[in-house]
Amino acid sequence: MANLPGGAFAKGRDRIVRVANPGGTRQSCTVSSGAITLPSGLTYLPLKGATRAEFTPAPNSQEFFLLGDNGWRDSVGVTQAGEMACSAFFINSLDSSGVPQADIDPGLQLVLNAESDPDVELWVEMFTFLGLDSSSNYIYHCRAFQGSVTNVSEAAPSDGLIEYSWTIQSRGEIWAGKHDNASAALTVY
pLDDT for 59 equals: 76
pLDDT for 163 equals: 83
Which residues share a beta bridge with 179? 140
Overall residue count recorded for the chain in this entry: 189
φ/ψ region of 159 (left if φ > 0, alpha if ψ in -120 to 50, else beta) reads left
pTM confidence score:
0.79
pLDDT for 18 equals: 93
Whole-angstrom CA distances from 32 to 29, 37, 127, 133 are 10, 8, 18, 18
pLDDT for 93 equals: 61
